[in-house]
């Protein structure tokens, strides 16, 4: 005597096969939410300047050797655009694009640059002139 009729067993196996076939579709939305490659092209605000940031403490830093205070909500972004905790980079120097807060003059946001990003020209990246002097080419 068969306890389960064949129709019930066949219906159960059909449902299981259908669920297994739909499983990859459940994973597809998660893949759509993934960001681009790490180290992709980042855009920076037009008013961002370039400099060398040395973090002295969680509130003090130097940009190109000049002391600056960091704003209470200061954000430091890694080359992968993730937040970097300031206490973990005390004593280190980075080439950065940075923004100063307009009202207080404190450092508000900084982005640690990759080598490719630091090769692109940006205001504040040292003096750039188009003047040539004879003394530059013929030293005495």
Instruction: Specify if 94 maps to a domain.
Output: yes
For the chain, the average pLDDT equals 81
Instruction: Give per-residue pLDDT as tens, 12-52.
Output: 788 777 777 777 776 665 555 545 445 457 889 999 999 99
> What per-residue confidence (pLDDT) applies to 15?
78
Residue 32 lies in a domain: no
User: In the block, which residue shows the tokens 């060398």?
Assistant: 52
- What is d(CA 58, CA 72) in angstroms, rounded to the nearest whole number? 9
4 lies in some domain = no
Q: Has residue 23 been placed in a domain?
A: no
Question: Residue 61: which of 99, 93, 24 has the closest Cα?
Answer: 93
- The pLDDT assigned to 131 comes to 60
Q: Is residue 126, in this structure, part of any structural domain at all?
A: no
Domain of 88, CATH number, reads: 2.40.50
pLDDT for 111 equals: 96
The pLDDT tens digits for 42-100 are 889 999 999 999 999 999 999 999 999 999 999 999 999 999 999 999 999 999 999 99
pTM: 0.61
CA dihedral 47→51→56→59, nearest 10 degrees, is 0
Per-residue pLDDT for 137 more than 70? no
Q: What is the mean pLDDT of residues 101-108?
A: 93
Supply the pLDDT for residue 136. 61
pLDDT at position 13, please?
81
């Amino acid at each position: 005597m068969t306890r389960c009729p064949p129709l019930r067993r066949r219906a159960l196996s059909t449902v299981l096969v259908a669920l297994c076939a739909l499983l990859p579709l459940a994973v597809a939305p998660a893949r759509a939410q993934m960001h681009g490659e790490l180290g992709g092209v980042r855009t920076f605000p037009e008013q961002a300047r370039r400099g060398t940031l040395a973090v002295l403490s969680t509130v003090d830093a130097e940009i190109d050797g000049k002391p600056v205070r960091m704003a209470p909500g200061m954000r430091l972004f890694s080359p992968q655009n993730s937040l970097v905790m300031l206490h973990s980079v005390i004593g280190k120097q980075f080439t950065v694009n940075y923004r100063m807060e307009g009202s207080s003059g404190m450092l508000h946001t900084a982005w640690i640059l990759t080598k490719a990003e630091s090769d692109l020209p940006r205001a504040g990246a040292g003096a750039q002139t188009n003047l040539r002097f004879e003394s530059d080419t013929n030293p005495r």
